[in-house]
Structure formats: structure tokens, C-alpha cells
A and B are shown apart, each in its own frame.
Chain A
Amino acid sequence: DEVLTIETSVPFTSHKCEPPSRSVQTTPKELMGFFQDMALMRRMEIAADSLYKAKLIRGFCHLYDGQEAVAVGMEAAITRKDCIITAYRDHCIYLGRGGTLVESFAELMGRTGGCSKGKGGSMHFYKKENGFYGGHGIVGAQIPLGCGLAFGQKYTKDETVTFTLYGDGAANQGQLFEALNIAALWDLPAILVCENNHYGMGTAEWRAAKSPAYYKRGDYVPGLKVDGMDVLAVKQACLFAKEHALKNGPIILEMDTYRYHGHSMSDPGSTYRTRDEISGVRQERDPLERVRKLILGNDIATVAELKDIEKQAKKEVDEAIAKAKESPMPDPSGLFSDVYVKGYGTEAFGADRKEVKSVLP
């Protein structure tokens, strides 16, 4: 396969480190893969939006469309022995780690075929065998957890790293600084990835952060600001960060990105930002369109071929939804399963303990 060298959209901005080169190596095959993966993620989230509106998905549902380049670029730089942990906007991270569409939709609809057998929901996807540790609902709590995964990697001398994702809202959490301090003291191979989509729910970053330069907020920890809408820049930054973390300990990557949807499904996403802002990002910075242009510009595929890929993605998503709908709701006995690994025969009770109880194995 021919090697292409492509310049990132903007230079990296660095804090306490020499930034990597703007010239990123890729191949036609990789670019086609990026397009395919991002198209699938985009379609998946749009379908989740419809399912939610059709009341087939309950509760909270946070969509990732707009941010796909972060998940896809990161995967291009690492292996499944490396770990990823994120917050509740987790569907596409799960997909990137090798999760399936059927298990995703089944989980979203609370079916037994879901990746957490319907007991986790939108915010609690996991794929431990591929190094994906969730799917966490408490803003910022995943950051120490991710540093703990990195601790495990260092303890067992695995020569792998953990990518801990969090948003610009979580970037202000005190526990980030607690965990980063320890990670730096102990040289943990932890990469803190701030997915800066510029709004913590409905609060613009500048209203919540005295310094929104998140890549610099590790103070003594090096950082890199990355165009998170440019999948090649993300890949380059993650390659750089992994090498850095194995040698020197933690590093922060601030991914400048954008979510097209509101914070969650209850948020139309238009009260705290203008429609012009959203459409402006879509027109000028969309991660999928950027890759489309690269593919067309380098004569790797035709407009029609790319359209076919998108059609195929839609078909895969539709088929997965149909299949997920066939998956049954969990058996009532599932209420009491997996409370413990080892339940010692404890009795666990339902709402009316004389009516519903179970012995935990």
C-alpha cells in the first residue's frame, strides 16, 4: 500500500513538550477505513436519536456525532492491549474497541443481547477483553479509574497505556488534579484525553473554566492541543502520547472537538449556542467530510464509492436495529444476577421481600 504524507489542519500547540510533526503518514487503506468507521458511528448515533424519539431508548442518551475523529484516530494509534475508559458518551468508543452494532442497540433498548445484558444502559457499555473499561456516569470519576488502569499496566510491566477520556466540564473536577498528581509522582502510563466539545451540558467552557487551555492545566504535566476534528492529527497525537507515557508518565491531550447533538436527548442543544455556530462547524470542520475530501483529492475512491459506503453503513445499522429488537427483555431472574461475583448464598430481596427474593450464588 502506498504511503501518503498529509499535513494536519492546524499545528499542534504544546505545553512542556516538543510537539510532534504536522506531517502524518497514512495509507489509502487507512483513510478508507477511517471513512467507513466514522460513517458507521455517525449513522449509529443518528439512528439512536430516532429510537429515542420513538421511545425505544429510555433515560439518558448522550450522542457522539461530531466527535468521531477522536475515537477513530485514537484507535489507529494504539492496540487493544492499551486501555480506554470514558464517561457516559460511550457508544462510539465501544464500537471503536470492537463492540458490535447489535450489542449496542440491544443495550440501548434494554435487551438481554446488549453488551451489558440490558442492565447498564446507554452510559454503561464495556468490552473488557478489548481493553474498554466503560462507560461511567459520574462526571470526572473515570479519571482516577483510568489512572488506576495505568497503575495496573505499570505494576504488571505490560508496556501498555491507558487513555482516559473526559469532557471540558469534567476538566474542572478536583479529582482530576488528585489523580494527575499521583500519576505524575508514580510515572503512570496515563494519557488524559480532554474531549473539549466546548460545552459542559449547557455551560460554555469560558463560564466554567478560568483557563480553558485544558492542555496546560496539568501544570507540571506536559500537554498537547490537537484538532480533534482531524482524525490524522488525533492519530499523530495519540502515537506521540503513547510513546511519551511509556517513557515519562502522564500527558494531557486536549482534543478540540464539537458535538452536533445536545448534551443528552433532553437538550435540543440550541439554547446556549447558535444554530450558525453548529452549521459553521459542520461546513468547515466536519471530521467525516475532511476525510472524504482527502480520499477524493488523492483519487483513492470516487464520490459514488463513498456514497455507497455510507449507504452500506445505513443498511448495517438498520439490520442491527432489527436484530436487536428481536432480543428479549432480560429474564426477571436477571434482577439478582451479578450483584456479586461470589454471593455466598446471601438472600437478596425484591420490593416485597415476602413475594420476591433470591439466593445470590
Chain B
Amino acid sequence: KEMTVREALNSALDEEMSADPKVFLMGEEVGEYQGAYKISKGLLEKYGPERVLDTPITEAGFTGIGIGAAYYGLRPVVEFMTFNFSMQAIDHIINSAAKSNYMSAGQLSVPMVFRGPNGAAAGVGAQHSQCYASWYASCPGLKVLSPYSSEDARGLLKAAIRDPDPVVFLENELLYGESFPVSAEALDSSFTLPIGKAKIEREGKHVTITAFSKMVGYALKAADILSKEGISAEVINLRSIRPLDRNTINASVRKTNRLVTVEEGFPQHGVGAEICTSVIEESFEYLDAPVERIAGADVPMPYAANLERMAVPQIEDIVRAAKRACYRSVPMAAAA
């Protein structure tokens, strides 16, 4: 059976709301409008306005209210129309949600999910196109998940809602409409995926490529191209940015001896930087080539289509970097 990521997220929300009356959804346009991206379609009708709450456009206010409700023992799912707007509420996510269990020595847990589309969309300019994975993943107390496929979306969102800690759940607008095959197991209402575990999407021998969210699809396409040239790439879908599955990454690198990290976010202090550090700390002697990093360009997102394309990783960037790691390409003579 095939299912879109949108349907996967919608069914995950529906099942968890049905299973636990403490789960509720709040955010801008989640109710009567059926969700800005229709993720919450039908939920207002099914669960009523007490559990599907349209908020005003006031992120700091409604995020704080969501966290307070979690202190009280409810299990809120707070939707950000996009994660760009979560910047209005980042103080609450970091200071009120992530740190409370620690500061209170376990008295004040925060069982909730912050979710919404993250990363670059298409043609929406700098303020609506940014990946916040490394921002949130740098903060202890938070868990940060980022699904790629429909199975990921269902399994990870259901796990996030059941988790007793605050989870930042980073979706991607451009994946919502994509269809993926889903197993019968993944369609079962008891299905969840483990938090903190990466998935090897494709096994390979010569080079490891790590990616999350939309970039997993790009990495898989790059692996197809590479295989035609005799390079067998192993693609790791991180799924969980925090906790980061260092074991799976290092085990793969110890096998392939080469690593390319891929992400849409800015390169500096990014997810790739942390993965690179982990591999240097744990598997330095296994590396046969310098670690390669593919990331968003180090600029705010431009609007013009040609510039925008240059600002986000493309499949050919991943292919090129993987070849470089395998010493199969001539180094570029000069910068473009």
C-alpha cells in the first residue's frame, strides 16, 4: 500500500488522539481551516474544539500555554505553521520545556511535541526557508526527530506523542505530498519507531552518506547514480537528530571508511559538523579520506529560482562529494 507523508502524519495524530484523551492539538489554522498544509484534516470534526484548538497568531503565547498544559500532565501537540515562526517561541521551547525536568530534579516533566514543516520550501525567500535541526539538536533536554518517508512520519510521530519528554518534530513541506510504500506493520495503530535510532536506507560498501528529511531522497538518488559508476554507497536516514545514533554512523564508517554528510541547513555548527566530530573521535583510524560535507549555502535563502537552487544541496553535489571521498574525481580547479 502507498501513502503520502501527509496521510501518514494525519493518521498518526488521529490514532494517538483516539488512544489517549490527554493528547490535544493546538496551533494556527489547525481546526476550521483543516491545517495550513492539511495535516490536521478532519480532526476538528472528529475530536471537537476542546481538543483541536485554533490559536491566534501569537507563537510565544500559545507555545507557553502548551508547555504549561504539559506541566499539568496533558500531552499537547503544538503545530507551528512553519518552524520559522517557532523563533517567536524559542525561549519557551528551550527555557520552559527543555530544562524544566532537569531544574526541578524530575518534578516537572514536559510530555509534548512541537511539530511543523522545517527547512527550505520553494520560492518563499529567506524568512520562510531555514532548517532548525542543528539549533534545537544542540540543546539537551529536547529530542529532535525528522522523518523522511511515510513510515518514518507515522512511526516517529506516534513515538514522539507517547514520549514523556519534549520532542521537536521537523517535517518538510515538500515531502507532504510524496507517496511511499508502507508495510502492514507500519499501518497498525500500535506501530512506533524507536527514538534515537537511525535507519540504513540502503546498504553499501564504499562510502557512507548521512542525511535526514528531504535529503534522504536526494542521497538515495545520488546512490543510484554512484552505483552506475561502480561506487556502492550506504545511505543512513538519521531519523533522530537528538539523540544522534552515533553507533550506527560509526559502524557504517568503519565498514566503508568514507563519509559524506548531507543537510539542508547552514554548514557552520551544523548537524554534519557534529557527525564529523563523532566520527573523528570514535573512528579516526578507519577513515581513508577526509570527511565531506554537503550543506545549504552559507547565505540567507535567495528568492530567484537559479540562486535558490544554488543555495540548497542538489543530487549532483552529493555525487561529486562521494566521488571525492572515493578519490574518483579530479579536485575542482577553482571556485565557481
Contact = CB atoms under 8 A, between A and B. Distances in A.
Interface of A: 83, 85, 116-117, 119-120, 124, 126-128, 133-138, 141, 143-153, 155-156, 174-175, 177-179, 181-183, 185-186, 337-348, 353-354
Given A178-B58, A340-B143, A149 B69 contact: yes
B64 A143 contact: yes
B281 A353 contact: yes
Contact of B63 (A143, A144, A345): A144
B104 A136 contact: no
A175 B140 contact: no
The 4 closest A-B pairs by CB, nearest first: A148-B68, A144-B64, A178-B61, A152-B72
A148 B64 contact: yes
Contact of A339 (B56, B63, B101): B101
Interface in B155-170: 163-165
Contacts of A156: 72-74
B64 A141 contact: yes
Given A178-B56, A181-B61, 20 more contacts: A116-B107, A117-B105, A128-B104, A133-B71, A134-B100, A136-B96, A137-B95, A148-B70, A151-B72, A152-B69, A155-B74, A175-B61, A178-B58, A178-B61, A182-B61, A338-B105, A340-B143, A340-B165, A342-B165, A348-B140
Interface of B: 24, 50, 53, 55-56, 58, 60-74, 91-92, 95-96, 100-109, 111, 140-141, 143, 163-165, 194-196, 243, 246, 281
A151 B60 CA distance: 16
9 contacts: A116-B103, A120-B104, A134-B104, A145-B67, A148-B71, A150-B68, A179-B64, A339-B141, A346-B196
Given A116-B103, A138-B95, A341 B109 contact: yes
A303 B81 CA distance: 64
Contacts of B67: 144-145, 148
A341 B107 CA distance: 10
Contacts of B68: 85, 133, 144-152
B57 to A, nearest CB: 9
Contacts of A134: 100, 103-104, 108
Given A178-B56, A342-B164, A151 B103 contact: no
B243 A126 contact: no
A186 to B, nearest CB: 8
Contacts of B50: 155
Nearest to B72: A152
B64 A145 contact: yes
Contacts of B96: 136, 138, 141, 145
B164 A119 contact: no
A182 B65 contact: yes
A98 to B, nearest CB: 14
Nearest to A347: B246
B275 to A, nearest CB: 14
Contacts of B281: 353-354
Contacts of B141: 339-340
Contacts of B92: 141, 144-145
